[in-house]
Structures are given as structure tokens and as C-alpha cells.
């Protein structure tokens, strides 16, 4: 029922012609006219001539007014039908304004859900990387880039084109379309040519999908427990521990081949990797400011602790002191954009080939340090602390705080033994380097 009394002049039987002729008086900003059937239907006409059908109602002892729509979008028959439908809502105790708000929310949620369900692995991968890279090491960040790299791009250090990363094939797949069968087929295809890279990409993908499941806007699209079923996990090739390592009898040939390299920086870098057991990026990122020649120590980056201090044994100190000081980097490279060595794999491969030694990776030099140190019966904890391995026992973690002098004692022994096997004389450990000069400590 119409809650307010209308003057006779404002109420009449609506017809299309009468509505076209109806106007707003010049003295008003708007004028309301009401239909005689249904009496709840009205039309609002503004001073600029805009006409809008309205519905007036009373619910819970309160008056309400609802805009049906512009008269140029609704015909009279449709407006009357809509008014009748709205009156049914009111009779049922439903406020038309609340019902419209609900429909709008449903429409927005449907659009959001459609967008959410259309998101692909490729769309979210960079978002995931950006959200987490601050706590990743450079190497881990690079692994994520390689896993999804595009094919046909120029490589940084050669004229060859890049190959698609193991996970590149999944970038166009929607999260909601991922299934155990999809993942298993992907793994089986990639395993044919690169099982190790595929296993690494699988681990990165699993961490990525776990992150997606933790985000409110993507929860439920790709549930990890369902996706990574037993059959999927079994399809991943098990990682085999690498065992490449220099043996005692190989040291002479290795040192001889490495020292024949015309680039003294490269040969010193390779020797530093073997004689410290450090990670390649830790040594490549060594600055002159990180070396204390007087007190024979180096401060290098550490992927676990951030940085660590290790001894600078005599022979290595002598080698580093003889390197050219082109910039801030100890192992500098004029040809590199960063100013430091970036890639010595080919140089090392040539040395291994010339020495007729078994295949040995750059990381194999780190493994060699840990293995060969047992020849001098060095305590395992000493080697672990020099190499930056995380303590593996309660005693090592909480009750062993070895000073640099103790590390130096054993580090010098390890270096001396390696050099002895190669027929190289280790400098006197009492030699102290200051700048570019060598002074004998009496």
C-alpha cells in the first residue's frame, strides 16, 4: 500500500503518452507522479528532464523508496511488472534495497571468482618470487628463474639460445586445472631429457603451490595434498648424491693444469675454491676489504649465517696478494659487467681435460676439501666450521666455539698437505703480508 497521501494532481493513470508529456515545474528541482494501478509505482522527473521509475513501500513501520530504473530503459509494462515483483518481496518481509545489494555482491563475487579461477601458474610465479626473494639466496633465486625460463633467448655467456626451463610448460596452465595426472605427465616428459633439473623444478613447484594455498585469494584452487599424490612423487627421479672429488694422487696433475691457465685470476680462484672448501659464490664475491693480510683472515659470505670468518693460509695469501687490484673485487674481470668473475666452468673443464682427470664439477672442489682434510686427521667440526656447514650435533652447535687461531692451525696443515702432494712448497707460516709487501716476522 502507498504510505503517503498524494494530491490528485500528482496521481493519474500512467500511459506512455502521458508520461512523455509529464514535466517538472520550473519552480522545482524534481517532481513525483504516481500511478493509480499499482499505486506503489511512481516516476521522478528532474529539472533537466530525466525520468526514473520508482517504487515506494512500507516495511517494519518504515517508509522506503527504491529506484527501478530510467524511463528510457524501462517501458511502462516492464516497470509495472517490476513494481509488482518488488511488492511481493516487501510482503515477504524482504527489503528491496537489501535484495539489490545482495545481487550486486553476488555479481561482484562471481566476477572475482571467475578471475580467481582463471589465474595461471605463469601469472602467479613472479608474484610468488617477489614476495619471497628477500629471504632467498642468490642461487635459490636463480633456480626459480631457470625453472621457468623461456626458450629461444640469447644466453649471457655464449651465442647459443636458451632452452625452455623444466616448469615452462606449466606456465599457461590454470591453477584449478592442475591435477595429479597433469603433473605426472609433465614429470614423465621432462624426465626423458633432464631428470635432475625436473626433480629440482618439482620441489620449487611444490613450494610455490603451498604458498598459493596460504593466500586467501587463491586458497582451494590447487590443494597440495591432493596434487602431490604418491604416484606423482614416485614419478620424480630420486636425486643421486654426487661423489666427484679429487683424490690424493690427482692433486699434482690438477695444480699443474690449473696453473697453466694464462689468466692468473682464474687459476687463483680455482685454487682458492680447493684450499678453502668455500662455495663458489662466496669466493667470487670476495672483496679486498674482506681480506686481512696482516692477521691472515678472510670474511666471506655465508648462505646460512650471512657471513663467516675463516683463516687465510700462507700459500693462498701469497697467491691473492699477487693478483691485480683492478677494482673492489679480489677475483676481478674486466670483461664482466659486474667487474668480477662470473663463470669459470669452461676454464676448469679445459684444465681437467688437459690433466686427463675424471669429470669434476666446481662444487666438487668443495667436496674435495672436506674429503682430503681427513688425511691430516683434522677434526670434522673444524672442517665444517671452515666450510660453513651447519652444526650437526648439540655439542657442535652449543658447546664448540673455536677461535680463529685454532682454525688456522688446522687449515695450514690441510693446505700444506695438499701442496706437498702436488710438489709445491708452502710458504713459511710466519710470513705476514701487508699490502703488497711481504715481511718476515722474527
Separation between Cα atoms, residue 278 and residue 79, nearest integer Å: 80
Q: Which domain holds residue 185?
A: 121-235
183 plus 309 within the same structural domain: no
394 plus 290 within the same structural domain: yes
**Domain limit, last residue, from 182, 207, 235:** 235
Rg (CA), the chain: 38
> Does residue 1 belong to any structural domain of this protein?
no
129 plus 110 within the same structural domain: no
**Domain limit, last residue, from 82, 115, 148:** 115
| The C-alpha cell that represents 208 in the structure block | 610455490
Q: How many CB atoms lie within 10 A of CB 6?
A: 15
94 plus 171 within the same structural domain: no
79 plus 208 within the same structural domain: no
**CA distances in angstroms from 366 to 5, 185, 418, listed in the order given:** 94, 36, 14
334 plus 225 within the same structural domain: no
**Domain limit, last residue, from 235, 267, 296:** 235
Bridge-partner residues for 45, per DSSP?
A: 31, 51
pTM to 2 decimals? 0.59
Domain CATH for 47: 3.30.160.390
132 plus 83 within the same structural domain: no
134 plus 106 within the same structural domain: no
> Does residue 242 belong to any structural domain of this protein?
no
Q: How many Cα atoms sit within 13 Å of 41 on the Cβ side?
A: 26
pLDDT tens sequence for the chain (442 residues): 333 444 445 889 999 999 999 999 988 999 999 999 899 999 999 999 999 999 999 998 889 999 999 998 899 999 999 999 999 999 999 988 888 878 877 766 666 677 778 889 999 999 999 999 988 888 889 999 999 998 887 776 666 788 899 999 999 999 888 999 999 999 999 999 999 899 999 999 999 999 988 888 888 888 777 788 888 989 998 877 778 999 999 999 999 999 999 999 999 999 999 999 999 889 999 999 999 998 899 999 876 667 889 999 999 999 999 999 999 999 999 888 889 988 888 899 999 999 999 999 999 999 999 999 999 999 988 999 899 887 665 545 555 668 888 999 999 999 999 999 999 999 987 654 444 444 333 2
228 plus 190 within the same structural domain: yes
61 plus 85 within the same structural domain: yes
Number of folded domains in the chain?
Answer: 3
> Does residue 294 belong to any structural domain of this protein?
yes
84 plus 204 within the same structural domain: no
- Exposure string over 396-427, b if 16+ CB within 10 A, otherwise e: beeeeeeeeeebbebbbbbbbbbbebbebebb
272 plus 355 within the same structural domain: yes
Amino acid at each position: 500500500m502507498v504510505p503517503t497521501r498524494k494530491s490528485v494532481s500528482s496521481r493519474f493513470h500512467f500511459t506512455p503518452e502521458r508520461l512523455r508529456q509529464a514535466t517538472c515545474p520550473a519552480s522545482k528541482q524534481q517532481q513525483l507522479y504516481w500511478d493509480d494501478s499499482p499505486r506503489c509505482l511512481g516516476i521522478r522527473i528532474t529539472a533537466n528532464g530525466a525520468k526514473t521509475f520508482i517504487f515506494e513501500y512500507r516495511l517494519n513501520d518504515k517508509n522506503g523508496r527504491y529506484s527501478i530504473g530510467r524511463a528510457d530503459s524501462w517501458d511502462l509494462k516492464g516497470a509495472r511488472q517490476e513494481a509488482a515483483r518488488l511488492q511481493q518481496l516487501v510482503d515477504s518481509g524482504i527489503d528491496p534495497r537489501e535484495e539489490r545489494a545482495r545481487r550486486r555482491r553476488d555479481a561482484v563475487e562471481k566476477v572475482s571468482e571467475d578471475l580467481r579461477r582463471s589465474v595461471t601458474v605463469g601469472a602467479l610465479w613472479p608474484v610468488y618470487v617477489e614476495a619471497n626473494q628477500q629471504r632467498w639466496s642468490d642461487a635459490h633465486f636463480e633456480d626459480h628463474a631457470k625453472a621457468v625460463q623461456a626458450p629461444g633467448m640469447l644466453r649471457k655467456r655464449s651465442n647459443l639460445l636458451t632452452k625452455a626451463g623444466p616448469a615452462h610448460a606449466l606456465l599457461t596452465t590454470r591453477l584449478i586445472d592442475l591435477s595429479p595426472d597433469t603433473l605426472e605427465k609433465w614429470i614423465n616428459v621432462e624426465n626423458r631429457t633432464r631428470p635432475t633439473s625436473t626433480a629440482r623444478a618439482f620441489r620449487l613447484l611444490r613450494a610455490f603451490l603451498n604458498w598459493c594455498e596460504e593466500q586467501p585469494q587463491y586458497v582451494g584452487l590447487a590443494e597440495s595434498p591432493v596434487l602431490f599424490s604418491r604416484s606423482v612423487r614416485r614419478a620424480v627421479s630420486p636425486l643421486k648424491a654426487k661423489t666427484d672429488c679429487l683424490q690424493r694422487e690427482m692433486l699434482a696433475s690438477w695444480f699443474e693444469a690449473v696453473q697453466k691457465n694464462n689468466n692468473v685470476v682464474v687459476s687463483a680462484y680455482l685454487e682458492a675454491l680447493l684450499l678453502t672448501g668455500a662455495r663458489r659464490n662466496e669466493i667470487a664475491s670476495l672483496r679486498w676489504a674482506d681480506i686481512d693480510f696482516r692477521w691472515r683472515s678472510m670474511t666471506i659470505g655465508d648462505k646460512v649465517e650471512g657471513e663467516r670468518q675463516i683463516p687465510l693460509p700462507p700459500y693462498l695469501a701469497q697467491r691473492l696478494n699477487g693478483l691485480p687490484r683492478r677494482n673492489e673485487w679480489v677475483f676481478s674481470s674486466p670483461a664482466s659487467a659486474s667487474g668480477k668473475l662470473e663463470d669459470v666452468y669452461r676454464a676448469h673443464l679445459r684444465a681437467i681435460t688437459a690433466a686427463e682427470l675424471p669429470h669434476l664439477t666446481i662444487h666438487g672442489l668443495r667436496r674435495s676439501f672436506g674429503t682430503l682434510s681427513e688425511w691430516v686427521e683434522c677434526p670434522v667440526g673444524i672442517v665444517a666450521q671452515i666450510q660453513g656447514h651447519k652444526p650437526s650435533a648439540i655439542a657442535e652447535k652449543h658447546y664448540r666455539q673455536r677461535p680463529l687461531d685454532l682454525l688456522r692451525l688446522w687449515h695450514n696443515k690441510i693446505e700444506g698437505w695438499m701442496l706437498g702432494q702436488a710438489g709445491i712448497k708452502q710458504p713459511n707460516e710466519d710470513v705476514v703480508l701487508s699490502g703488497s709487501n711481504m715481511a718476515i716476522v722474527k
